[in-house]
Amino acid sequence: MGRRRVAGTIYDISLIGRKEVRQLWRDKASLTLTFLIPVAILLAFGLTIPSSSSLAAADVPIRVTVCDFDNTALSHDFVTILGNSTSFDLTLQGDANKARSDVEWGIYSAAIIIPEGFAVNLTRRPYPANISIIVIEDDSKSFMAEMVESEVANATQIFMKAIGLEYKANVKLTEDKLSGRDLTFRSTTAAPVMGIALIFGCFDDAAGSMARERERGTFSRLLLTPINRFSIFMGKTIASLILTVVRTSLLLLVLVCYLNLTIVGSLLLVFLIALLIDTTTVALGFAISSRAKSTRSVVIAQIAIMIPLIFLTGVLRPPEAMPEYARGLVNVIPYTYANDAFRRVVNLGQGIEFIMNDIIVLLGATVILFIIAAVMMKRSIV
């Protein structure tokens, strides 16, 4: 009797298993995503995490500017060694204030200032004095400060060895961090992670809601009224915006009270960025929901889109540290700009002028995605 029961159970299990495979096989879109999602996640992970043993190593040269105020043979040698580094794409300039401004605006990831007296201090006898090199770094980007400092320290060691002063003199790196604080890894990633968290909620406001309406027949009911597609989109968007204000407030509470994050910049700007994330995601959700067969398809699409975003939008690693081919992809994802905006406002306290580009990109993405959604919905009205 026991054996028959076991055999029966095994048979039932195989029946259900085969049914599941058959159903998935017939939903080719979901089937494709089921295989593509894990691959995409790993690929995105590979783009983010460097191949070297150190998280702080850059796989590609990052843009760095050097101001050589010493202008001696020794300082030139040092600049040459810095330039030979595979981690730096070095540019010389002569204005320290401009160099700092360039780092603030993101033109360069860091600026290295070789002060006047560099060579004099190195050649002083009987003992060379401590020599200071100033590194202006954007520490709000994950691992950026560590990458720069690590490479400068490396170059310094090579230089000191070359001039026979290894172990005889100390070259001190004076960090001039844009944030003015000691930002931890948690601090640099918390704000972008909040952005990703918002995306999850906003996506369901649109895509999930539309898929549910289609499944239940209420969307057809709406289409039988004089209401146009624009009104449906806008109505749902406004509802989502209200929810996003509440979501953002809750997330900020968690960030501040639980994660001990300090929000340096304007809270209004934080909410503005959150609302732009909402409009972009809602528009994306509408576009996807016009093709989604069911709420299940929407969930799969949500995972397919959202999880790679954690790796591809500068949360764990700044885009400038990613390979060229990845940067191309990263730069077309609107959320890269949302995370950039969050980082600037939350960690650096920068104002609207610094995030204007990000705002324009998010607004543009919203408009384009809404247009796509409107066109796609027209073709699949039932």
Partner 1 sequence: MAEAAVSIENLTKKFGDIVAVDHINIDIKKGEIFGLLGPNGAGKTTTIRMLCTLLEPTEGTAKVAGYDIRKQPAEVRRNIGVVSEGVDLYGDLTARENLILFGKLFGVPKKILMKKINDLLGFIGLTDRADDLVSTFSTGMRKKTLIVSSLIHSPKLLYLDEVTSGLDPQTAVSVRDLTRQLRDQGITVLWTTHYLDEPEKICDRIGIIYDGRILALGTPKEVKSVASISVTIEMTLDKHPSRECLDYIKNLDGVIAVRSSGTVLNTTVHNHEASLGRIIENLNTNRIKILDIAKRGSSLEEAFLKLIADASAKESGKIEKEIERLRKEIIEAMDKIKVE
Residues that bind partner 1 (CB under 8 A): 216-218, 220-227, 381-382
To partner 1, the closest distance from the beta carbon of 288 in angstroms equals 21
d(CA 352, CA 364): 17
**Which CB sits closer to partner 1, 10 or 227?**
227
**Which CB sits closer to partner 1, 251 or 377?**
377
To partner 1, the closest distance from the beta carbon of 333 in angstroms equals 35
To partner 1, the closest distance from the beta carbon of 204 in angstroms equals 16
Pairing of strands 171-177, 131-137: parallel
To partner 1, the closest distance from the beta carbon of 223 in angstroms equals 6
Q: Cα 257 from chain centroid?
A: 23
**Which CB sits closer to partner 1, 224 or 257?**
224
**Which CB sits closer to partner 1, 46 or 235?**
235
Which residues touch 224 (CB under 8 Å, ≥6 apart)?
none
Partners of 112 in the β-ladder = 66, 135
**Which CB sits closer to partner 1, 55 or 374?**
374
Per-residue burial over 216-227, b if 16 or more Cβ lie within 10 Å, else e, is eeebeeeeeeee
To partner 1, the closest distance from the beta carbon of 207 in angstroms equals 18
Residue entry with tokens 């520490």: 139
Q: Amino acid identity of 71?
A: N
d(CA 270, CA 357): 15
**How many other C-beta atoms can be found within 10 angstroms of the C-beta atom of residue 252?**
19
To partner 1, the closest distance from the beta carbon of 222 in angstroms equals 8
To partner 1, the closest distance from the beta carbon of 232 in angstroms equals 10
Q: What is 61-101 written as a DSSP string? A: PEEEEEEESS-SHHHHHHHHHHHH-TTEEEEE-S-HHHHHH
To partner 1, the closest distance from the beta carbon of 228 in angstroms equals 8
**Which CB sits closer to partner 1, 177 or 212?**
212
**Which CB sits closer to partner 1, 1 or 382?**
382
From 270, 144, 266, select the one nearest 195 (Cα to Cα). Answer: 270
From 274, 113, 127, select the one nearest 191 (Cα to Cα). Answer: 274
**Which CB sits closer to partner 1, 18 or 221?**
221
**Which CB sits closer to partner 1, 164 or 226?**
226
To partner 1, the closest distance from the beta carbon of 379 in angstroms equals 10
Q: Phi, psi (5° rounding) for residue 203?
A: -60, -40
**Which CB sits closer to partner 1, 180 or 235?**
235
To partner 1, the closest distance from the beta carbon of 206 in angstroms equals 17
Helix boundaries (H) for the chain: 2-26, 28-48, 73-84, 96-105, 118-123, 144-162, 185-203, 209-216, 218-223, 229-253, 267-289, 295-312, 324-332, 334-348, 356-379
Whether 179 and 94 have beta carbons less than 8 Å apart is answered as no
